[in-house]
Structures are given as C-alpha cells and as structure tokens.
C-alpha cells in the first residue's frame, strides 16, 4: 500500500502520482501549466478504468499515474512547481533536477538550474562543463571550459575526470591546450625590434624576457596568468618620446593576438570587479565549425 506524502498530498487534488510507493495527490492544473509532458498526457489520453482510483471519503475518482523516478526527486519537482513550498537548488540535486526538467519538459525548472550554474560554475567547473554539455547549455559550457582549460593539469591529472566528459569535449580541451603550449613556444621567439627609442626598447626587451621566462618555464603557468603577465609588460617608467611609448603595449598586444588568437575572454558573471589587468581565458564552444 502506498504511503501518503507528508508534503504534497492535497485533499482537493484531482490526480495522484506514485513514485517508489510514495503517494502524491496533486492538481492537474498545476501539472498541465508547468509541464509540457503532463499537458500532453492529460490532453491526448483518457485514463483507463484500471488507472482510476476512487476516493472513499468523497466517492470521487482520480487518475493515478505510476512514475519511474525516485520519490525524493518527484517530491523536489513538486516543491518547485507548487507555490506553497520552496527549496534552493544546490550541487547535491542540480543534476537530478536538470534530468527531471528535461524528462517532464519543465522550462521554468530548466531556467532555474541554468541560473544556479551561472552563479556557481566557478565552484565546480568540470561538473558544470559536463552538465552544460549534456543539456546543451551553451553559455555555461563556454564559461566553465575557461576554468577547466586554465587548470588543465589539475583537472586531468586524474584520468577518471576524463570519463565525466564526452570524447568530443575531451578532444577540444586537449587541442586547445596544445595550441596554448605552441603559443608559448612562439612567444618565446619574439624579439623586441628597434622601432622604439633605444632606452625604451632595452627596458622593454628586459621586462619582456623576464616575463617570457616566467610563463614558458615548465611546468607552464596557466593561460589566464600568462595573458595577464604579458599585458603588464610596458615602459611607462620612461618619459622620453611619450608618443612612441604608447605604442609599446599595442605592439605586445598585437603579438599576443597573432600568436594565441582571439579566443580569450574574461569570465562572465564574475564575482568581483577586476582592474585593468583582468585576466582572460581561452575557451571552447559547445557547437562550432572548427575541425577537431
């Protein structure tokens, strides 16, 4: 015999859901308005006699639907749908909630989960990347890939982490990482020419060489650190030929763009305000035209 839910068992309910022997008596209107799945179910078919249950107290008959989901998951789904109950999405349940939102086509729940991932992807970037890939959340996929690439060695030191991602995403990450390492090798060969004033050129060359040595010595620095470090190289301490000196940062920036490409951006939905040295990160797209 099914056990009544302590949270979602409404006396005036006109529909019953059963999951793992836990009984929920709910309202069709709530389900129909919230879920395209239930809307289609109630619109397309009438319950058979075997699916109708008589409520002894009132003599009314209601449809009973058996669900193949964990009772606690259905309870959380209903708690999201009903205005009289509330719970906060967490890392503990976001994966299940995304699955339920996808299965029962609850767009509002999908949006709530996406909003949670946008707020929290920095805490669990690898997990966020996997969920974003599974449920085609392009924005979260892009942002979480920045942090996974930035901490590549950390995330892929354990081969078990690879199992959390598709072969396609694994390949994209490895290719992007290889492109970054190749970029370091190229930046190592850059020389500062004599188009600038001699004193500025000598100072820039010294600062640039120090920076390159820092980021190109194995184990390599993270892409965000390298990007930030390279953009800090300048000659602002020298005051002769000011107009010429303004071109120094542009010169370095052009070299960086030419070597590393344009697919570097700051983090979206950042939690703090950065100054002009805000780091930028490489990233991969959920769908793109690159041949990997």
Q: pLDDT for 139-175, tens place per residue?
A: 999 999 999 999 999 998 887 888 889 999 999 999 9
DSSP class of residue 62 equals E
Residue pair 174/254 in contact (Cβ under 8 Å)? The answer is no
* 52-54 vs 15-19, strand pairing mode: unpaired
- What is the distance between the alpha carbons of residues 255 and 282, in angstroms, rounded to a whole number? 16
Model confidence, pTM: 0.85
CATH number for the 3-112 domain, one of 3.90.1150.10, 3.30.710.10, 1.20.120.80, 3.10.250.10? 3.30.710.10
> 188: Cβ–Cβ under 8 A, 6 or more apart, which residues?
212, 216
DSSP class of residue 48 equals P
Q: Give residue 52's pLDDT.
A: 47
- What is the distance between the alpha carbons of residues 18 and 65, in angstroms, rounded to a whole number? 6
- What is the distance between the alpha carbons of residues 125 and 130, in angstroms, rounded to a whole number? 9
Q: Is 19 helix (H, G, I), strand (E, B) or coil?
A: strand
- Dump pLDDT digits (tens) for 33-56: 999 999 998 887 555 444 445 444
Q: Is 158 helix (H, G, I), strand (E, B) or coil?
A: coil
H or E element, residue 264: strand 264-265
Question: Mean pLDDT over residues 98-104, rounded?
Answer: 97
> 71: Cβ–Cβ under 8 A, 6 or more apart, which residues?
19, 20, 21, 22
Q: Is 265 helix (H, G, I), strand (E, B) or coil?
A: strand
Q: Is 17 helix (H, G, I), strand (E, B) or coil?
A: strand
- Dump pLDDT digits (tens) for 19-32: 999 999 999 999 99
Q: Where are the domains of the chain?
A: 3-112, 147-292
């Amino acid at each position: 015999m099914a056990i009544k839910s302590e949270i979602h068992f409404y006396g005036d309910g006109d529909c019953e859901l059963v999951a793992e022997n836990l009984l929920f008596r709910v309202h069709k209107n709530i389900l129909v308005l919230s879920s395209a799945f239930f809307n289609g179910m109630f619109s397309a078919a009438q319950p058979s006699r075997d699916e109708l249950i008589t409520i002894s107290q009132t003599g009314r008959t209601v449809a009973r639907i058996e669900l193949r989901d964990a009772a606690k998951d259905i309870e959380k789904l209903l708690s999201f749908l009903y205005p009289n109950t509330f719970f906060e999405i967490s890392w503990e349940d976001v994966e299940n909630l995304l699955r339920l939102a996808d299965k029962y086509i609850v767009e509002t729940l999908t949006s709530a989960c996406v909003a949670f991932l946008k707020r929290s992807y920095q805490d669990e970037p690898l997990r966020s990347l996997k969920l974003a890939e599974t449920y085609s959340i392009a924005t979260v996929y892009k942002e979480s890939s920045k942090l996974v690439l930035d901490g590549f060695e950390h995330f892929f030191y354990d081969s078990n982490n690879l199992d959390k991602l598709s072969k396609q995403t694994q390949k994209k990450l490895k290719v992007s990482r290889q492109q970054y390492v190749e970029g370091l090798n190229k930046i190592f060969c850059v020389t500062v020419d004599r188009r600038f004033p001699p004193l500025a050129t000598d100072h820039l060359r010294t600062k640039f060489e120090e920076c390159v040595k820092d980021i190109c010595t194995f184990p390599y620095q993270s892409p965000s650190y390298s990007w930030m470090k390279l953009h800090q190289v300048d000659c602002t301490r020298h005051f002769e030929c000011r107009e010429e000196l303004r071109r120094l940062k542009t010169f370095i920036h052009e070299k960086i763009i030419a070597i590393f490409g344009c697919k570097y951006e700051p983090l979206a939905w950042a939690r703090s305000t950065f100054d002009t040295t805000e780091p930028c990160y490489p990233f991969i797209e959920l769908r793109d035209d690159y041949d990997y």
